[in-house]
Every structure is written in structure tokens, then in C-alpha cells.
Amino acid sequence: MLKMSMRHGTVNKPACRGFVENHTRVATVIHTANSQQLLEDRVVQKKEILEDYKIMGCGSSRVNTNSVKRTVKEHHCTAGTVIKAAILIQRWYRQYVARLEVRRRCTWTIFQSIEYAGEQDQIKLHNFFSYLMDHFTPASGNEYDHISHIFTQTDESRQDVEGDNHCVYRNIEVAESYAGPQLCFPLTPAHVATLLEAFKNKQQLHGRYVLQLLNETRKHLEHLPNINHVSTCYGKEITICGDLHGKLDDLFLIFYKNGLPSPEKVYIFNGDYVDRGKYSIEILMILFSLLLVYPKGVYLNRGNHEDYVINLRYGFTREVMQKYQVHGSKILKLIQSVFSWLPLATIIDEKVLIIHGGISETTDLDFLSKINRRKYVSTLRPPRRKRIEWTKQVSNQEQYSSGDNEQCVNKSDQPPRKNSASKILNLHSLTYKSQRRKSSGTISVKRKEISKRVRRSVEEELEECRRKVGFNNTYDESKTSQSMLELHTQEIFDLNDHEWKQIVDILWSDPMHQEGCIANTVRGGGCYFGPDVTEKFLQKHNLQLLIRSHECKQEGYEFCHNQKVLTIFSASNYYEVGSNRGAYVKLGPDLVPHFVQYQVSQSTRKLTLRQRVSTVERSALGALRKKIFAHKSDLISAFEHYDKNKTGLISFEEFQKSCKLLSSHLKIDISEKAIGDLACSMDFNKDGSIDINEFLEAFRLVDKSSY
């Protein structure tokens, strides 16, 4: 057939050449194998002939022995060649896999750096505006109220939101043309099955049912403790799932492999249900409906992405507003309240702790179990500093002094308490709010001056009351009361700061291989905790394992800290299709973890390892390129500022200044002579300046093995 094709001139030469080369390789391999088999057969045959000659007593044994030795030598030479070839192939394959692993790790580093940089930028931005609010002096009371309403949310405003959304869904009518799932409360397993089937068919739940479901979920969460306690007794098996991040297909696959939740099949979902993926609201609806149907079969922990400030950046807010354009703002407000009520942790059999992020040196489970978690609608915000402002007005003083004198005496004789300190703080804040619109002489007080102003205001009030009833020598007593009030005021702020740090640490922290506990500067929140911190924490609370999420892992899970910290991540293809597997872990009464891995993608099954790595690598480089090009105009402006003549060249003097600046930043001592010698060596054309081509040529990457 090959000759016929060549004769008719229709042969494709490259294809023909490849065809011949491939068949030549196959033929060579077959020939080598056949030759080796023939040699072995010849050796065996000659040995048999030699034995026959010896038995028969004829022939020359000397000739036959040399012939056998020569055959064996040929056989050994051929076997040695085969072994050498196998070693070369093995070495090449290991180098090939190692190169792919390096590419994969570099790709992983790019993705993680971009992800953590985004979280850090969001935290820095929020801290910046919080700083402005703390140091903001309003021109009028209305201005302060307006800005404070934007950046803060008081308990009163939260109660208003919860009260408004409690009945808002009753006024929403479902159109007759609506063909999606319909819910009625209390929910049943049939409703959950209908909801799952509708979401599989890409149907959308009506806004009325979303608001009603969120409202019922919030009422249920209000009765749950900060830390749930679950038991594996009676043969129960508990399944722990990590981050889902809007990956609805992963949740469906988990239920397909492991079954739906029930009292006998308990699920614990460890936070980060929303953001990044396209189906975050659907995941919330499924989990909340399961929570209401099986309150003893589903447990939900809060993650760092259950935070409306984070949702603004990473897509969940945008998703809700696009899917529910009419009722989107109401849904988001109610979701904020639901997120603030989510429990912070879960403990299995008093031995396994499940939290989203990690721990720190100061993490205390007893303290976490007692705090008011609903205060922290956003964990990025430290406790709002109480602003106390005081106006001296005659009418105000007369209002305070017009009360019953006997009551004033009784109040002054009572020792101060912590509650009294908070009441006084609230009293002054409310007094200022009521008088602010009538007075223009308002003075803004910073946090450091709070205790001083409170002490002075209380002193004036007590002295006025006691003067009217005839007690003149009351200085020492009032001074003692005021000092105690100052201490109690400081305790309020310290308590709030400690609460906030405890919550941030368990939601944002990551483990590290080194010992100790340091600030998590990469993410911008939480800390890095070492194996020594883990060991002390587990011993303190009599635990044996810490299960966390918060970090994407290539295999879906990873142990660290001597197998005492387990990271579980359930969102497969998190960065790109083929980037990672998802996993969930199952615990029985023996508390031995059993892992199930998966990857939701049919296309990756058909790709080779090299194709998967290349696909993810292209995506990472594209994301990095987009990140760099986002500041392209700023970089060009900076270059043009230094290159005023627009020559595209760098003088030796400019090069030396840049190197000195870089060395001071990196804390590396480089002499001016060394910098000058480097600049001269880079100036290939000896024109006294360095262009981009010379710079790139001087630092060209080379393979050291070739030198």
C-alpha cells in the first residue's frame, strides 16, 4: 500500500516519515526481544547437546565448553544493554515528572498569591475606612449620622433589619407563571427533594420562598450555641465537608456518593459556602432547608466568607443581585443576619474540634462559647469604638439636677459595677444624640480621652447632687468611684477587642511547619500557628484532632502537625479545571478518618497529566498577566517620569541609585564599586547607558548542567 501511494503521488512525506520511524522503533523492540529469546534458546539447546555428548562419551568437551561460554557472554552483553536502556528510560521519566511537578507548584503559588493578595487588599481597604471613621470629626450631627450609618451597624439597626424581614415576604406574591419549586413551612423531606431536583434543572427559587426560608433559618440558629456538640454513638457516621465556594456540582456529587443527610447520616459543613462559584445562593438554600428538616443531622459552621464585606469583593453579592433584581437587597440584608448567627465550631465526642480556619496562642473554647456572636456581622471590623461626646449646657445641667435629691444620694452611695459603667456610657451617648441637633458646640472625643471625660462628667453630676443635700466633703469618695469607673470603661474596650481577636483567629488562621504563632500577613487576618501551639491547645482542651478547611489542597485534604491537624477542602477544580480534587472525611465511633476524593469534570478524565498541568498553567499565567496589566498605565507613567527624554535608556547614575534603593529594601550591603562594575559589564555596546535588551541579556536564564 505504501508503494502504491508513492506511485500515485498522494503520499504525505512527513506523515510517511513518521509512519516509517514508528514502525522501525516497534520492529527494533520486537527484534531485540526476539533476539534475546533466541539467545536463551540457543544456550539451553547447547547445554542439552553438551550433556548428551557427555553421556554418550563422544566429541570434544573443550570445544563445546568454549562455545557455551561464548553464547553466555553474548547473552550477558544483550541483557546488560537492556538494563541500561531501562535505567535511562526510568531516569528520563523521573525528570519528566519532576519538571511537571515544578510547573504545578509554580502554578499553585501563582493562584494562591493572587487569592491571598485579594483578601489582604480587602482587609486593608476596610481598615483604612475604619481608621477614617475613628478619626473623623463631623461638621454637623447629620453628617456623622449619615457616614456612621454607611460604615457601621448598631444593635438597633440589626434589630430593625431582622424585624423588617420577618414579615416582608408576606407581602410578596408568587405569579401564576412561576414554574419553579414551591415551599411551605414547616419543611419536609419531600420539599428538599423538590428543591434539589429544581436546582439540577437550573431552575430558580422564587424570592418570596428565599426570604421565608432565610427567616426560618435565622430563628432556628438563634437557639443554637456558639459551639455545637455531636456524638457518634449508636453507630452513627459523621461526614465533614470543607469549603464549597458556590460549586453546586460538588455538593450534588457528595450527596450522590455519600447519601443525603439524615439523623443516622450526620453532616458537618465547615463554612465558606459562598463566593467565587456561580451557585452560592442555591447551596445556601439547600443547606438551610436540610438544616430545618434534619436539625440533628446537619450542622453548619461559619467561615471567613460568611461575611458581607468579603461577599462584596468575591462575587456573592453580585450573584444575588443578578438573580433577584427585585428582592435582592432584602435577601442580602437577611443573609447578613443569618451569617452572624452561624455557630463558630463543632466538637465530636469531645475529642475532635472542627473550625474553619485555625487557632492561636490565645484561643479559648470556654471563652468562645460565651460571647455574643451575632454582634460580629463582619469579622473584618474590630468592635466599634464607643464615641462619647459631651456638651455643657445650662438646660442640660438643670435637667440632671432637677431629679429627686434623695435618689441622687442613694445612687452615689452605691459602689460602681461593670453594668453601671456601660449604662453611664449609653446614658451619655443617648444624651448627646438628643441634644446634638440643638447644639452647635459639640466636641468630638477620641478613644484615649473617654475615661477622662466620663470621670469629669460623673464628678460634676455627683458633686451637684451632694452639694444640694448638704454633703460638701465628698471629694475622696467621688474620686474613688471615678477611678473605678475608668477601670470598668477600659475593661469594656479590652473585652471587645479580645472577643474580636478570638473570632478572627478561628476563621482566618493557617497552620505552619515552624513552631510559634505569628501574624498572618499574607492573608491580612488571623495568624500562623505551629505544631507547638497545636499540641498545647489539644492538651488544654483534652482533644486529639483538629479538623479545619480554609485552604485549597491539591488532593482535597492534607495532614500536618504530626497528624493532629487535618485540612479538608471540598471544592474541586477550585482555581481551574483540573487544578485540584475535592474531598470529604468520614468519622465513625473510633474517630479514624476515612477520605473520599472526587473531581467534578468529565473533560479532565480524557486529558493526560501533561495536558492537565499545561491547562492550569495557562490559566494561572493569564490571571497573573491580567493582574500585572491592570497597573500597566501606572507602570508606564512611572517609567516615563524617570525617562524624561523618552530614550528607553538608563544611565549608570540612575542604575546605581536603583540598585542602592533595592539593596536597602532587601537589607543587602552592596558597594558602589560593585554596582559600577556590574553596570559596565552590562553595557555591551559601550555607549554609557543600559537599554532593555542589554539588561535582559545580562540576566538571561541558562541551564547550568550544560556548562
CA-wise closest residue to 185 among 222, 223, 215, 224: 215
Contact 267, 297 (CB under 8 A): yes
| Residue 409 within any structural domain of the chain | no
| Residue 198 within any structural domain of the chain | yes
Number of domains in the chain: 2
Q: Of the residues 547, 577, 598, which one is the last residue of a structural domain?
A: 598
Contact 343, 225 (CB under 8 A): yes
Same domain, 244 and 198: yes
Interatomic CA distance for residues 547 and 43, integer angstroms: 64
Same domain, 567 and 674: no
Beta bridge partners of 241: 269, 584
Query: What pLDDT is attached to residue 27?
Result: 43
Enclosing domain of residue 201:
189-380+510-598
We report the CATH number of the domain holding residue 657 as: 1.10.238.10
Same domain, 560 and 633: no
| Residue 343 within any structural domain of the chain | yes
Query: What pLDDT is attached to residue 135?
Result: 66
| Residue 54 within any structural domain of the chain | no
How do the residues of the chain divide into helix, strand and coil, expressed in percent and rounded to 5?
60, 10, 35
Those residues of the chain that have pLDDT short of 70 are 1-77, 126, 129-167, 234-235, 381-495, 602-606, 635, 638-639, 642, 692, 696, 698-707
List the catalytic residues: 305
CB atoms within 10 A of CB 260: 18
Same domain, 682 and 536: no
Q: Where are the alpha helices (DSSP H) in 201-246?
A: 207-221
Mean pLDDT of the chain: 75
| Residue 636 within any structural domain of the chain | yes
Q: Of the residues 598, 619, 643, which one is the last residue of a structural domain?
A: 598
| Residue 655 within any structural domain of the chain | yes
We report the CATH number of the domain holding residue 247 as: 3.60.21.10
Query: What pLDDT is attached to residue 630?
Result: 73
Query: What pLDDT is attached to residue 225?
Result: 96
Q: 394 φ, ψ to 5°?
A: -65, -40
The reported pTM is 0.66
Same domain, 594 and 671: no
Query: What pLDDT is attached to residue 213?
Result: 95
| Residue 136 within any structural domain of the chain | no
Give the relative orientation of helices 248-258 and 280-293 as an angle to the nearest 10 degrees.
Answer: 40
Query: What pLDDT is attached to residue 672?
Result: 83
Q: Count the alpha carbons within 13 Å of 568 in the hemisphere toward its beta carbon.
A: 29
Same domain, 572 and 614: no
Query: What pLDDT is attached to residue 102?
Result: 86
Same domain, 226 and 356: yes
Same domain, 626 and 548: no
* 320-365 residue pLDDT tens: 999 999 899 999 999 999 999 999 999 999 999 999 999 999 999 9
Burial of 33 (0-12, 13-18, 19+ CB in 10 A): exposed
Query: What pLDDT is attached to residue 667?
Result: 75
What's the Cα-to-Cα distance from 82 to each of 69, 89, 122, rounded to whole Å?
20, 11, 60
CA-wise closest residue to 464 among 421, 400, 404: 400
Q: Which residue, chain included where needed, has cell 456581622?
A: 377
Query: What pLDDT is attached to residue 128?
Result: 72
Q: Which residue, chain included where needed, has cell 501574624?
A: 519
Same domain, 568 and 649: no
DSSP-derived pairing of the beta strands 565-568 and 557-560: antiparallel
Same domain, 514 and 654: no
Same domain, 564 and 623: no
Query: What pLDDT is attached to residue 210?
Result: 95
Q: What is the DSSP string of 677-688?
A: HHHHHH-TT-SS
Query: What pLDDT is attached to residue 437?
Result: 41
Same domain, 542 and 685: no
DSSP-derived pairing of the beta strands 227-230 and 345-348: parallel
| Residue 485 within any structural domain of the chain | no
Q: Of the residues 574, 598, 622, which one is the last residue of a structural domain?
A: 598
* 136-152 residue pLDDT tens: 666 555 655 655 555 55
Query: What pLDDT is attached to residue 608?
Result: 76
Q: Which residue, chain included where needed, has cell 500536618?
A: 560
